[in-house]
């Protein structure tokens, strides 16, 4: 059983433990406050230089991000263009652009050939106006009937007369003027 004296002794011990704690706490508490104040002071003194460094890091991060995105933008544009070209080639059934342009060349040649053929009558009419047929009704007295006929043609006159039936680009390349 617990008696009054035991309780009284327990209270006294607790009281003196508290007093000792407070006495020991004083110097330790003052040292702890001084230490904490020193840490706060060091932190506050170093804060401006750290803020400058943080600002530099933020700006450099933005620059790096923009550079990375610019590279991604270029890649995205290349991808869009390549996909568009591939889509057009697929739609038109092309495997090579050179084959397409070879076909254009064939078409240009065929068009030129048809154009020249369609102008044949006009060229013939121009030639007939420039050259009068020779008089071959001469007598062949005493001869074998063979005669040499000399026909002189003026090339410049032929070119001027037939040039108007040629496409404008051909006229320019050959030096013909209207």
Please determine, for residue 127, whether its predicted confidence score (pLDDT) is greater than 60: yes
Whether residue 116 sits in one domain with residue 49: no
> Is 122 inside a domain boundary?
yes
Whether residue 73 sits in one domain with residue 47: yes
pTM for the whole structure: 0.29
> Is 1 inside a domain boundary?
no
N-to-C CA span, the chain: 142
> Is 136 inside a domain boundary?
no
pLDDT of amino acid 135? 62
> Is 144 inside a domain boundary?
no
pLDDT band at 174 (very low <50, low <70, confident <90, very high): low
Whether residue 44 sits in one domain with residue 19: yes
Number of structural domains, the chain?
2
Please determine, for residue 94, whether its predicted confidence score (pLDDT) is greater than 60: yes
DSSP secondary-structure letter at 152?
-
- ∠ CA 83-87-92, nearest 5°, is 155
More confident residue, 175 or 155: 155
Whether residue 105 sits in one domain with residue 88: no
Mean pLDDT of the chain: 76
Positive/negative CA dihedral, 19, 21, 25, 27: positive
Residues 6+ apart with CB under 8 A from 119: 165, 166
For the chain, count helices (H), then strands (E): 5, 0
Whether residue 49 sits in one domain with residue 112: no
List the domain range (segments joined by +) for residue 49.
9-94
> Is 23 inside a domain boundary?
yes
Whether residue 120 sits in one domain with residue 84: no
The CB density around residue 146, as the number of other CB atoms within 10 Å, is: 6
pLDDT band at 124 (very low <50, low <70, confident <90, very high): confident
The most distant pair of C-alpha atoms in the chain lies apart, rounded to whole Å, by: 183
Whether residue 37 sits in one domain with residue 110: no
Q: What's the alpha-carbon Rg for the chain, to the nearest Å? A: 55
């Amino acid at each position: 059983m617990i008696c009054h004296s035991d309780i009284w002794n327990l209270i006294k011990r607790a009281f003196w433990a508290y007093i000792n704690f407070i006495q020991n706490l004083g110097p330790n508490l003052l040292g702890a406050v001084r230490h904490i104040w020193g840490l706060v002071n060091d932190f506050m003194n170093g804060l401006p230089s750290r803020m400058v460094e943080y600002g530099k890091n933020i700006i450099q991060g933005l620059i790096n991000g923009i550079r990375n995105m610019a590279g991604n933008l270029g890649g995205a544009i290349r991808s869009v263009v390549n996909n568009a070209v591939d889509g057009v080639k697929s739609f038109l059934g092309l495997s090579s652009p050179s084959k397409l342009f070879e076909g254009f060349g064939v078409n240009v040649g065929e068009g030129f050939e048809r154009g020249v053929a369609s102008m044949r009558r006009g060229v013939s009419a121009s030639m007939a106006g420039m050259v009068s047929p020779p008089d071959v009704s001469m007598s062949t007295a005493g001869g074998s009937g063979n005669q040499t006929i000399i026909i002189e043609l003026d090339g410049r006159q032929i070119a001027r007369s037939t040039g108007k039936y040629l496409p404008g680009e051909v006229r320019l390349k050959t030096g013909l003027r209207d």
